Amino acid sequence: MNVPAQAVDVVRRLRERNFPAWWVGGAVRDRLLGREPEEYDVATAAAPADIIRIFRSELGCTTLEVGRAFGVVRVQYEGRWFEIATLRSDQGYSDRRHPDRVEYGADPRLDAARRDFTVNALFEDPLTGEILDFTGGRADIEARVLRAVGDPLERFAEDHLRKLRAVRFAAQLGFAVDGATWDAIVADTALDVSPERIQEELLKMLTGPAPRQALKLLRESGLLRVFLPEVDDMAGVAQPPQFHPEGDVFTHTLLMFELAEKPMPPLLALAVLLHDVGKPPCADASFQDGRICFPSHEAVGAGIAENVLRRLRFSNDVVDAVSALVREHMRIKDAPNMRKARLVRLVADPLFPIHLELHRLDCSASHGKLEVHDFLAQRYREHLEAPVLPEPLIDGHDLIDMGLSPGPIFGKILGEVREMQLDGSINSRDEALAAAHRLMNA
């Protein structure tokens, strides 16, 4: 396994100055699983002031105190960032996130006892290869079990986000959740956590290697009902078997995640999660000739998606994009019958690649027919090879010159002239002006 030299040197620099130091947490866990760690966190007996003195003053590194009250310093060492934390024990979590009191120390055993799960409480000496395991994390890795450190009820009471982290780690690692740990989650599904932290965990689940399993665990635990009741409502909502042999709306959504290439882009993942969120409220009056259908579920769903994303404090750009993807996802199937101008605008939309993949997953997870997808994929290839869209032949100034006063009619006339231009029925400015005259007098 390729280990960055800087990750070893950071520990060596601390050891040279008589401060015990180890790799800790996810890096050790991933190495034992044979996976390449994304980052290497370090735990040390050095106090934050010592860390800053060593790396900033003596070695000229950039340092950031990202968690001063908790002894965490980020250090940029030879071009790579490391999070270096002082060994500590925590007392009390009245706000269910931060310890009321932190005591620095030099005993990794006490530091391990404050961590969330045994597989994240391992220490490794990169200079000798020795692994310190005070909580049974190594055995749990071998057994592929996710277990809370100590009393799971206490661990989850300290920080409710750990319940979501348990689901994420179990899914992405392919581990079973220890019985007592699972029972503690199910016994109290309250999530007294900021929307921003929930958003971050949700995105990690959806864009990770196993979003389907994460969503299944969220629902089975009861957590999904707490922070995404609109998605939880999709379970049990029947669909017409001739179009959806896979089952209910929630099952269909899970299958889309299963079929998607990983990792999924965040916008696509959110669109998959929410694309059918309008079906439950539209299902009551949805029987035509004995067949289940969901009239206007895409429009209703776009509004629900917007509410969900705003509740979780997503940016306006994300809210607008995902809402548009949900709103338009049923119109894509009509692409072969669209006027040329509308089709040109569709494939020129910056969101079109996501629209296209959402449509592919939607079809693949239901009836399996991909003719429309293939048609659009070809149109998109042609679009990429074609020159950019031509500039409009006329604008509002031309309409004013014709004696028309600005108003809603402007958009209607300019839109129809633009459609003619993109359709190829007009090709010159004179033809565009003549068309505008006809529309004005219609």
| DSSP characters over 382-394 | HHHHSPPPPPPS-
Whether 169 is covered by a domain: the verdict is: no
Same domain, 111 and 232: no
- 289 is a domain residue: yes
d(CA 81, CA 40): 9
Last residue of a domain, one of 136, 151, 183: 136
- Please say if the pLDDT value at position 305 is more than 90: yes
- How is residue 401 written in tokens? 């010159």
Structure confidence at residue 284 (pLDDT) = 66
Handedness of CA 153, 155, 159, 165 (dihedral sign): negative
**CA proximity to 116, closest of 149, 85, 83, 71:** 149
Give pLDDT tens digits for 410-433.
Answer: 889 998 999 888 888 898 999 999
In this prediction, residue 246 carries a pLDDT of: 83
DSSP state at residue 117: B
Domain membership flag for residue 309: yes
Same domain, 283 and 423: no
Residues 362, 246, single domain; the answer is yes
Residue 187's pLDDT band (boundaries 50, 70, 90)?
very high
Is residue 122 domain-shared with residue 250, that is, in the same domain?
A: no
- Bridge partners of residue 176, in order along the sequence: 145
Lowest mean pLDDT among 81-95, 135-149, 162-176, 299-313: 81-95
Domain that holds residue 95: 5-136
Last residue of a domain, one of 115, 136, 157: 136
Which of 364, 385, 406 is the last residue before a domain boundary?
385
In sequence order, the β-bridge partners of residue 111 are none
How high is the pLDDT of residue 97? Answer: 59
Angle at 418 between CA 389 and CA 325, to 5 degrees: 70
Lowest mean pLDDT across 78-87, 282-291, 397-406 = 282-291
Residue 35, amino acid: R
Q: What is the pLDDT of residues 211-246, one digit of tens each?
A: 999 999 999 999 999 999 999 999 999 887 777 788
How much is the average pLDDT of 14-26?
97
Q: How high is the pLDDT of residue 8?
A: 98
Domain count, the chain: 3
Rounded distance between C-alpha atoms, residue 6 and residue 76, angstroms:
10
Selection from 398, 349, 404, 337 nearest residue 417 by Cα: 398
Q: What percent of the chain has pLDDT over 90?
A: 75
Q: Using the CB atoms, write b or e for 119-148: b if 16+ within 10 Å.
A: bbbbbbebeeeebbbbbbbbebbeeebbbb
- The confidence band for 287, taking pLDDT boundaries of 50, 70 and 90, is low
Same domain for 362 and 231: yes
The tally of CA atoms less than 13 A away on the side-chain side of residue 314 is: 22
What pLDDT is attached to residue 361? 98
Q: What is the pTM of this model?
A: 0.85
Please check whether residues 230 and 340 belong to one and the same domain: yes
205 within domain boundaries: no
Dihedral of CA atoms 187, 191, 197, 199 in degrees, nearest 10, equals 90
Q: What pLDDT, on the 0 to 100 scale, is given for residue 247?
A: 78
Confidence class for position 323, pLDDT limits 50, 70, 90: very high
Q: Are residues 270 and 298 in the same domain?
A: yes
CA distance 255 to 213: 10
Does residue 341 fall inside a structural domain? yes
pLDDT surpassing 60 at residue 92: no
Domain CATH code at residue 64? 3.30.460.10
Which pLDDT belongs to residue 286? Answer: 47
Q: Is residue 417 located within the same domain as residue 351?
A: no
Do 163 and 23 form a contact (C-beta atoms < 8 A)?
no
Is pLDDT above 70 for 146? yes
The set of residues, in sequence order, having a beta carbon less than 8 Å from that of 237 and lying 6+ positions away, is 248, 249, 250, 279, 280, 283
Q: Find where tokens 């957590």 sit.
A: 223
Q: Is residue 149 in a domain?
A: no
* pLDDT tens-digit map of 94-133: 666 566 667 888 999 999 999 999 999 999 999 999 999 9
The β-bridge relationship of strands 72-77 and 80-86 is antiparallel
Q: Which of 264, 232, 230 is nearest to 361 (CA)?
A: 264
Lowest mean pLDDT segment, chosen from 3-7, 300-304, 429-433? 429-433
Residue 391 — very low, low, confident or very high, per pLDDT cuts 50/70/90? confident
Instruction: Examine residue 234 and state whether it is found in any structural domain, yes or no.
Output: yes
Q: Are 237 and 300 in contact (CB under 8 A)?
A: no
pLDDT of residue 168 exceeding 80:
yes
- Any domain includes 111: yes
Nearest to 319 by CA among 302, 332, 299: 302
Fill in the amino acid letter for 81. W
Q: Copy the structure tokens of residue 168.
A: 């994420």
pLDDT of residue 411: 87
**pLDDT at position 310:** 99
Same domain, 421 and 350: no
Q: Are residues 381 and 305 in the same domain?
A: yes
Output phi, psi for 343, to 5 deg. -65, -40
Shared domain check, 270 and 307? yes
42 strand-pairing partners = 23, 84
pLDDT of residue 98: 65
- 338-366 in b/e form (b: 16+ CB < 10 A) is eeebebbbbbeeebbebbbbbbbbbbbbb
Which tokens is 142 given? 């071998």
The pLDDT score that the predictor gives to residue 91 is 64
Residues 348 and 424 in one domain: no
Q: What is the pLDDT of residue 240?
A: 76
Q: Are the beta carbons of 66 and 74 closer than 8 angstroms?
A: yes
